Amino acid sequence: MVSGRSSYAAALGLSVLASSLLSVRAYDNSRSDNVRIYWGQNSYGATGSNTADYQKNLSYYCQDDVINAFPLAFLNVFFGEGGEPSLDLANICSTANDPVFEGTQLPECSFMASNIQTCQNAGKIVTISLGGATGSAGFSNASQAEGFANTIWNLFLGGSSSTRPFGDAVLDGVDLDIEGGSTEYFTNFVSTLRSLMNSGSKSVIDAESFDAVYVQFCEHTEHPYNNYCGLTNYDNSNDWDFSTWDNWAKNTSPNPNVKVYIGAPAASAAAGSGYVDAATLGQIAVDTRNSYSSFGGIMLWDASQAYANDRFDAAVKSSITENGNTAPAPSTTYSSATSTATATPTTAPAPSTTSTPAAPSSSPTGSAGDCAGVATWVANVAYEGGDQVVYNGNLYTAKWWSYADTPGGSAGDWTEDGACGASSDATAVKVAYQSKVAPTNVGPKVAAVPNLSLSSALAAQTAPPSRRNSRFFRY
């Protein structure tokens, strides 16, 4: 499957499944009580001290019927040493702790083959997630994108290569979490991969056909890129726009059977904000399913957090299953005016749960060009929308959540407010919120919380939902 998640940056999770494979496995994409959960980044290890709850081998999470799908996070480098991609699966397999194929930085994780196959034999699907918050993603032209699709096919799916990271295990699809770099030519990547899947033994957002979309909802239109922010405002119709995505699924998506998932953190420590307990999330899911036939289930970040949080995944699954997975909700009709909206969700990185170095607690109150009391920009600090920094003598304001994107750079994360006055005093301000820092070799290796939305470059192909406060999750 090719999946894409809607992070707030391609944190839109999109999912393309191998149709021939699904016919012989228990996974059923047409259901409305599926649970998909990310595995690979040991998110609990970033915030918790109990080593017993650190991420386990994949098969550990496949011993019951709760979880239906696992995106393996992440393939975080597209073109590395030797022209090959690279993987980082935190404390399980990475370049820091495992051997690599000669002439590359692609870790040799073939010991995971039996784990993957165990989960697949139990009726789960396992996909490879591309990108992540620290991922280096992007293509310079259509030919490179199409070539990379063949690389992914040969390394992880139905092709062949002498450098397959997971040995003889054949994954079920691809998850897109493109939070950094350019999203140009991703439609070429997806269409080529879909062709390979359809022609093989296994089988962008608007331009290509996906099987599932993971959506994250944001309640603050002035800060539309804060992760997991909409669930707490579910009762406010202005902040909960699942109908927009239901409309997209029925009137815009090339796949009329696409499923839309609600993305959520599996523990309060798994995201900066927006966590709701399992009972509340389950009720939101049931209410949404009863209203919209495109609803497919719940997507969670991540497996280690869910298990440490009293099996949050199992509690949610129980809620959406016990309340009945009956006939789909009545079909909803949308006016042409609604279905032809042209604005697209803007994408931007989502905050991680890795560590907590210094970062401004709030935006300074100085006017444009007034740098008094404003901190100098620091590369390894995560900034929120509205935060101000000084860089090269100029004042900048963050448009949204930003990490490691230089003010004035091509990423476009910052608005330049003018040159600082001669009397400016760029002093540091107190530590207040979590920021994302590259993992160290001390303690568990972790990575950032994935984003949940699709990139504007992909989304612009046919105009997905126009509400700025929506975000996609992947798959």
Q: Which residues are catalytic?
A: 179
Using an 8 Å Cβ cutoff, are 218 and 224 in contact?
yes
Cα–Cα distance between 46 and 301 in angstroms, integer?
13
DSSP strand pairing (93-94 vs 86-89): antiparallel
HEC states along the chain? CEEEEECCCCCCEEEEECHHHHCCCCCCCCCCCEEEECECCCHHHHHCCCHHHCCCCHHHHHCCCCCCEEEEEEEEECCCHHHCCEEEECCCEECCCCCECCCCCCECCHHHHHHHHHHHHCCCEEEEEEEECCCECCCCCHHHHHHHHHHHHHHHCCCCCCCCCCCCCCCCEEEEEECCCCCCCHHHHHHHHHHHHHHCCCCCCCCCCCCEEEEEECCCCCCCCCCCCCHHHCCCCCCCCHHHHHHHHHHCCCCCCCEEEEEEECCHHHCCCCCCCHHHHHHHHHHHHHHCCCEEEEEEECHHHHHHCCCHHHHHHHHHHHCCCCCCCCCCCCCHHHHCCCCCCCCCCCCCCCECCCCCCCCCCCCCCCCCCCCECCCCCEECCCCEEEECCEEEEECCCEECCCCCCCCCCEEEEEECCCCCCCCCCCCCCCECCCCCCCCCCCCCCCCCECCHHHHCCCCCCCCCCEEEECC
What number of residues does the chain have? Answer: 475
